[in-house]
Amino acid sequence: MSQLPALWRNYINGQWHTGQSGNLSVDNPANLSKVADITLASPEDVDSAVAAARACHNSAVLPAMRPVERGRMVRKMGDYLLENCDEIATVLTLETGKPLDEAKGEIQGAARYFEYYANQAETLDGRAIPLGKDYIDYTVYEPFGVTAHIVPWNFPIEMIARSVAPALVTGNTCVIKTPELTPLACTYIAKAAEFSGFPAGAVNILCGYGHEAGAALSNHPDIDQMVFTGSVQTGTLIAEAAARNLVPCVLELGGKSAAIICEDADLDSVVESVRWGIFYNAGQVCSALSRIIVHQDIHDELLQRLTHLAENLSVGSHDENPDMGSLVSMDQQRRVADFCQQAQQAGAIATTGGAPLDRPGAFFQPTVFSQVTANMAIATEEVFGPVLTVQSFADDTAAIQLANSTEYSLAGGVFSNDLQRIMRLSQQLKAGQVYVNEWYAGGVETPFGGTGKSGYGREKGREGLMNYVHSKNVAIRLK
């Protein structure tokens, strides 16, 4: 691709705007070089974006369309991403530090959301309710109106697509606040909306600080729906702000997910799942497989195989074609290192890794910890890095107790060839989704979300579509 622009802007009401809060330097975490500047949105810019979204919604241009027309426009957004995948992936790689193949996979995943929800556009039917011969009663689904989307830095393009696709296909308008660390590739969503023919104000994209633009958006009185993916601390603040305006939320706040490995499990499948479950995107995944709970009879063998896996993963910048890229920032590297240091001080043993790589950039060694106890922070708190803990169990009761011992409940897994045991353990796991014999089994079609500190509401699948509509009942007396 040609040289990147030196300055990137916000997108409001169909126009590119310079933010009123100065510029932000976006850096490449793999070599600490500057990628570009992006202008920062102020609270006044947030007001302008929300007003544009409100005006577009009030015009009724989107709800007035046949659903198939909205679906075709949403589908074209995905087509645009695929047609420009190489260019967008290059930008995404530079600002996130992830390998180029992973960046391309994220773009393709984002396009899949647009495809899936485009196909759902015509399926959102109301229903008739029998009230006797003197009445006709029916329900219809209507869009909320203006939806707000605050996006995390780990999968910025895919997370926008996950919520914006169902919002648009149901006739809502969108205001999106991108992450400060990885905002550049997000701007291609605006280009995709233009390419697809969405009217001005339907899609608005802002980069701004969380305490400034994010707070202004979550507190805005003219927002009808709020979607947030990120930390528990920030999610709590957003929920409080939304509650003051009586605005419904969908919150996805992370996890500390465990897989129970039974003694009859296929260990090749377990190792492959760990490869993608904790080392993909350098472990910066909310539903990462961060804990292995393995039967004591196969603990030593599996620990050896997982250690070998981690030791043989290449780590480097995208031009080195590595198995794993860098963390998103030096701050994130320090955070992961602190977790590892505390674990070792508490008695955990790093069978491999446990420290940053000895090279410039936010790189961290693929890490496996054994001798981990349930009270260690490494076993209970979300590290958000390439760090796996391995614990053993003697019976299924102990396995479930360990798996359910954190405040999170996003994902869980079971690896076994015993169907009855799989069903029993799956029922007992405290998790919004359970992966059996393959971590990340499922897809765009399957609902995703948790409870407790993992948040509430569901994204993906049919459940994700229902976030953006409310039901209206019409009762008609015939005489």
Is residue 61 domain-shared with residue 182, that is, in the same domain?
A: yes
Residues 265 and 232 in one domain: no
184 is a domain residue = yes
For the chain, how big is the Rg over CA atoms in Å? Answer: 23
pLDDT in tens, 140-166: 999 999 999 999 999 999 999 999 999
Residues 191 and 66 in one domain: yes
Give CA–CA dist 197/211, Å, rounded.
33
Cα 320 from Cα 186, distance rounded (Å): 25
Q: Give residue-wise pLDDT tens across range 431-447.
A: 999 999 999 999 999 99
Which of 13, 205, 207 lies closest to 95 in space, CA to CA?
207
Q: Are residues 128 and 169 in the same domain?
A: yes
3-state percent breakdown (helix, strand, coil) of the chain, nearest 5? 40, 25, 35
Quickly state the pLDDT bin for 3 (edges 50, 70, 90).
confident
Query: Is the residue at 448 inside a domain?
Result: no
**430 and 463 together in one domain:** no
Q: From CA 179, how far away is CA 152, in angstroms rounded?
A: 6
Q: Are residues 31 and 154 in the same domain?
A: yes
Q: Per the structure, how many domains does the chain have?
A: 2
Known catalytic residues are 252, 286
CA nearest to 435, candidates 422, 424, 444, 452:
422
> Residue type at 351?
T
Q: Which helix (H) or strand (E) holds 241?
A: helix 232-244
Please state, in angstroms and rounded to a whole number, the distance separating the CA atoms of residues 326 and 182. 13
Q: What pTM, to 2 d.p., does this model score?
A: 0.96
Identify the domain containing residue 60 by its residue range: 7-252+455-473
Q: Does residue 419 form part of some domain? A: yes
- Asked if residue 218 belongs to a domain, the reply is yes
Asked if residue 449 is part of any domain, the answer here is no
Same domain, residue pair 395 and 462: no
- The answer on 169 and 268 residing in a single domain is no
- Convert the pLDDT of each residue in 92-136 to its tens digit: 999 999 999 999 999 999 999 999 999 999 999 999 999 999 999
CB proximity list for 178: less than 8 A, separation 6 or greater:
151, 156, 160, 186, 187, 205, 206, 207
Answer yes or no: is 242 within a domain.
yes
Q: Give exposure, 94-107, as e/b (b: 16+ Cβ within 10 Å).
A: bbbbbbbebbbbbb
Residue 2 belongs to a domain:
no
Please indicate, yes or no, whether residues 242 and 261 belong to a single structural domain of this protein. no
Domain CATH for 121: 3.40.605.10
pLDDT in tens, 302-338: 999 999 999 999 999 999 999 999 999 999 999 999 9
CATH of the domain at 280: 3.40.309.10
Let me know whether 399 and 261 are in one domain.
yes
As given in the structure block, the two tokens for residue 282 are 């350098």
Same structural domain, 165 and 212: yes
In a domain? residue 299:
yes
In angstroms, the CA 299 to CA 289 distance is: 17
326 and 379 together in one domain: yes
What number of residues does the chain have? 479
DSSP 3-state of 477: strand
- DSSP for 309-343 reads HHHT--B--GGG--SB---S-HHHHHHHHHHHHHH
Q: Specify the 3-state DSSP secondary structure of 257.
A: strand
Are the beta carbons of 129 and 154 closer than 8 angstroms? no
